[in-house]
Structure 1
């Protein structure tokens, strides 16, 4: 969590919350997923999901490893059959033998009790969708659900869910109750409509069953493909949990966000908005692209909000008529030379007018101060002025002199 280091800013924030630049994260219970902890004040966890058929042992293990090596902390795999559930054991064994243990989540759908019970032996968390776990084929002639019918199905859900809850509880493993806006159960649709309220009530029904069995290793998600629906559902979930004294961590995501620039913007609009409000303990950016493309977006969201620092933060002006060098070209050169570093803020500013002020919080500055020359700064202090063609090399030397350089 960020802290305010400026005493004046600290005083202003205390006097008026509008000045507070700290993200105050919602208090949640810690939930262990293998070697990773979600919630409990731990850093926001990054997740993704492989595309490979889980029956492909070698392909799945390789895909999981690729994701983990670039920063994906928890990996989800789909488990549509009993054969797939048993294959997870081999995948896990292969990972341990050839790489290392990776926290795994199994995705179980459609009357999946037997599958879930099998795969629970081999993974660290099981994700179920309340709208599909006990799947009821919709009736085209139904006009309503009576209270007795509603309760009857609720009891069937309890009977189906209870064995899974008990085995996860006894093994000390986790469950994600993952509600999707597009797959609400028919009785929830009839009772609450296709609404965030229906999503929240669907999650609460499953939470209460788990709690009645003294099981609380739960993570909750309420995903939708429309950002306003997703935002409303999570906010309502927090409200309802607060009213009920629940402190379960939340998994954030905009499902079916698509691809390309818009898919990234759409995911960021939903995930970052909630994170900025202190809501969310783990995230997944769902892109219609290779899973590896999701991880940089996750870390960029977290870095932009100051929730995790996993890369260099580049501060660069947008360029204008005062700029004394090709700013876009120089920024690319600086980034190419330093992007492997972590924990640094580097500013690239085109002129002296805004440079020192706008880059005041940066560790290092690269500023066009006079034609043909670059001024290099450490914080607010100008260290040296060098010819433009030596700027990047001298920036690296400055970082090395401060013992903050590591070779790529």
Structure 2
């Protein structure tokens, strides 16, 4: 028998379902003036396309991204010249704009490049799958434990100077595992699996920990969403078992472009965020980097993790709709899209309108032919002719002192 003493029920005996996303507890990792993890808002990242040797082009590209909300920007450093160019890029950003948290993508096991670039950026990203010390042979069927450990020792020896440099400078590292580039011994030992991805990351984490370095962010990206989901979930399970609390960088790699690229990224990133997993995200599109940022913020806003735009609630339209809903929604959005933080509902009729828009700050509802009912929360404020609907909505927002000029 259900009673009010049951903590899973509300006062009216309906189930008390928790609608809040409870994020996994992670340690804070500082990247420039931005903190990843530690309960801070989920951080948005992207990567410039420009050749890092193009100082002015790179500075302009970083600035474009930062100005539209990209909080951490990644650059590629395939050579020592590229690494040294980052010193000029960082200086020019500070002189002409402002400091921007920068991450360097170090290719292969180029430690000289990594040590140089570590002087000039806030975080270095390494891919464990590119630390290759074995020569592939066509007739190999396994790695013995001795061979596995010997290569692990070489990795540690190679990685140690970079870890010490980042540790001593108070900078960060991303251990970025990619499903498509697992090292051969991981493939032989664990297969082309999420387990192989996780064990690859753990090997590098343990090297860092042995050197008293904990400013680590982990990513386990794959181009297939189910693989990506399984890898991150397994990583969380293994970290929980080992008492680790490293923040996670989420992404679906090589997601493509257009609508499908956005849906694919959202399916992977959004699913994990809804489970409380993830502290920073990047949507990887085969488009201009600037196109990635709105997708990131849309995912975060949809989940209630960050509020960076107006939240519009609108019904899908049906035979009861009393005006051109698509046209009116467009007009309302164009007039109010700069009012960050507001929830505005545009509903076609009175049947579902007040109920489905109950959480909105303002409502615009077709209540009778030719007239619009304007609501503040659940309260109907006034009815106005349809052709004055948007104007009167603006006036209502102004009356409440919540309007700002675009």
Q: What range is the shorter-chain TM-score in?
A: over 0.9
Question: In 2, distance between residues paired with 1:329 and 1:10?
Answer: 45
Q: Residues 397 and 41 from structure 1, CA distance in 2 versus in 1: closer, same or farther, beyond 3 angstroms?
A: same
Determine whether 1:362 maps to 2:366: no
2:126 aligned partner? 128
Q: Is the aligned partner of 1:287 residue 2:262?
A: no
TM-score (norm 1): 0.96
d(CA) in 2 for partners of 1:227, 1:57: 36
Is 2:265 the counterpart of 1:267?
yes
Aligned partners of 1:134 and 1:160 also within 8 Å: no
- Deviation for aligned residue 1:13: 7.7
1:12 and 2:9 correspond: yes
Deviation of the 1:401 alpha carbon: 1.1
Residue of structure 1 aligned with 2:20, choices 5, 19, 22: 22
Instruction: Choose the corresponding residue for 1:347, options 345, 354, 357.
Output: 345
1:237 maps to which residue? Answer: 235
Note the residue ranges of structure 1 that are not aligned, 5 or more in a row: 1-6
Instruction: State the distance in 2 between where 1:136 and 1:17 align.
Output: 57
Which one of the candidate residues 95, 98, 103 is aligned to 1:97?
95
1:106-132 CA-to-partner distances (Å, cap 9, x unmatched) read 000112111110000000000000001
The more displaced of 12-21 and 201-210 is: 12-21
Partner of 2:54: 56
Do the aligned residues in 2 keep the contact of 1:196 with 1:233 (CA within 8 Å)? yes
Provide the residue aligned with 1:202 in structure 2: 200
Structure 1 position 161, deviation (Å): 0.4
Instruction: Report if the CA contact (8 A) 2:133-2:151 is conserved.
Output: no
Deviation at 1:143, TM superposition (A): 2.0
Counterpart for residue 215 of structure 2? 217
Q: CA RMSD in A?
A: 1.8
* In structure 1, distance between residues paired with 2:382 and 2:18: 36
In the TM superposition, what are the counterparts of 1:8-407 in structure 2 within 5 Å? 12=9, 19-134=17-132, 136-407=134-405
Does the aligned pair in 1 maintain the 2:362–2:375 contact within 8 Å? yes
Aligned mates of 1:401, 1:287 — CA distance in 2: 42
> Deviation of residue 16 (structure 1)?
10
Answer whether contact 1:259 1:287 (CA < 8 A) is retained: yes
Offset at residue 133 of structure 1 (A): 3.2
Are the counterparts in 1 of residues 313 and 357 from structure 2 also a CA contact under 8 Å? yes
Q: Give 3-state SS (helix, strand or coil) of 1:47's partner.
A: strand
Instruction: Give the conservation status (yes or no) of the 8 Å contact 2:8–2:15.
Output: no
User: 2 CA distance for matches of 1:13 and 1:43?
Assistant: 30
Note the C-alpha offset of 1:145: 1.1
How many pairs are equivalent? 402
The 1:10/1:313 distance shift into structure 2, 3 A limit, reads farther
CA distance in 1, matches of 2:24, 2:6: 22
**Aligned partners of 2:262 and 2:198: how far apart in 1?**
26
What does the per-residue CA deviation read over 1:8-48, in whole Å, with 9 as the maximum and x for residues that have no partner? 99963899997111111000000000000000000000000
> 5+ residue gaps in structure 2?
none
Distance 1:338 1:155 in 2: 59
Equivalent pair of 2:371/2:383 in contact (CA under 8 Å): yes
1: CA distance, partners of 2:304 / 2:128: 34
Deviation of residue 181 (structure 1)? 0.1
Tell me: CA distance 1:134–1:120, structure 2 relative to 1, closer, same or farther (3 Å).
Answer: farther
Check the 8 A contact 1:110/1:135 in 2, yes or no.
no
The TM-score, its normalising length taken from structure 2, stands at 0.96
Q: Is the 8 A contact 1:9 1:19 kept in 2?
A: no
How far apart in 2 are the matches of 1:59 and 1:232?
38
Shift of 1:141: 2.9
Question: Which whole-Å CA distance do the structure 2 matches of 1:394 and 1:9 have between them?
Answer: 46
SS in 2 for 1:19: coil
